A and B are shown apart, each in its own frame.
Chain A
Amino acid sequence: AQSVAQPEDQVNVAEGNPLTVKCTYSVSGNPYLFWYVQYPNRGLQFLLKYITGDNLVKGSYGFEAEFNKSQTSFHLKKPSALVSDSALYFCAVRDEDYGQNFVFGPGTRLSVLP
């Protein structure tokens, strides 16, 4: 079975500071990992993904994420937060051996304070 945890319901950071949104996962096979962002009353927008290769993945809007196999983590990071980054962030995993379905984490609400 596959599962995703986002240990923080809420993350607060000051504008200009680095931000991290945490994600850990559990799969039986090789993981495909994704980050999505959701702005109020909108659908989810794809940010970045890890499939294979370099553990540091760069995505949209200056975000990046680091795949750590030994810690089964895929934390989302940005060097300098913007107020406009305030949104709900979802981590998702797909197990290579488990078909086409994703499992989503519960979401982390990011607030960037001016």
Chain B
Amino acid sequence: DVKVTQSSRYLVKRTGEKVFLECVQDMDHENMFWYRQDPGLGLRLIYFSYDVKMKEKGDIPEGYSVSREKKERFSLILESASTNQTSMYLCASSKRSSGNEQFFGPGTRLTVL
């Protein structure tokens, strides 16, 4: 089975702190994605990556950056956390081929105080 793991299930940080969210997948998937999920808004894409050291902005990249130094690992970075970044963050991965579904991690619920 595909397994996508995220470093924390729950995280509480203070405004202005630098926050790292880590995601690891074990199925050699080329594509990796970071979403945030907010009630009534569904999932919104923050950043994605098609390959190592490659990144593309999604729909809401402001206030975030990412890093992909190894194929299995995709990190989301909040340079200076703000209260409006309180949310559920979901990581996903998929094979590059057409029509492949994304596999999701369990999510990290981040609260910024």
Contact = CB atoms under 8 A, between A and B. Distances in A.
Interface string A6-30: 0001000000000000000000000
B49 to A, nearest CB: 10
Contacts of A113: none
A57 to B, nearest CB: 12
Contact count band on A: 20 to 34
B110 to A, nearest CB: 14
Contacts of A42: 106-107
Contacts of B105: 43
Nearest to A96: B98
B103 A106 contact: no
Contacts of B35: 104
Contact count band on B: 20 to 34
Interface string B59-103: 000000000000000000000000000000010101010110111
Contacts of B103: 46
B42 A44 contact: no
B107 A106 contact: no
B92 to A, nearest CB: 8
Contacts of B94: 100
B11 interface: no
B41 A106 contact: yes
Contacts of A96: 98
Nearest to B105: A43
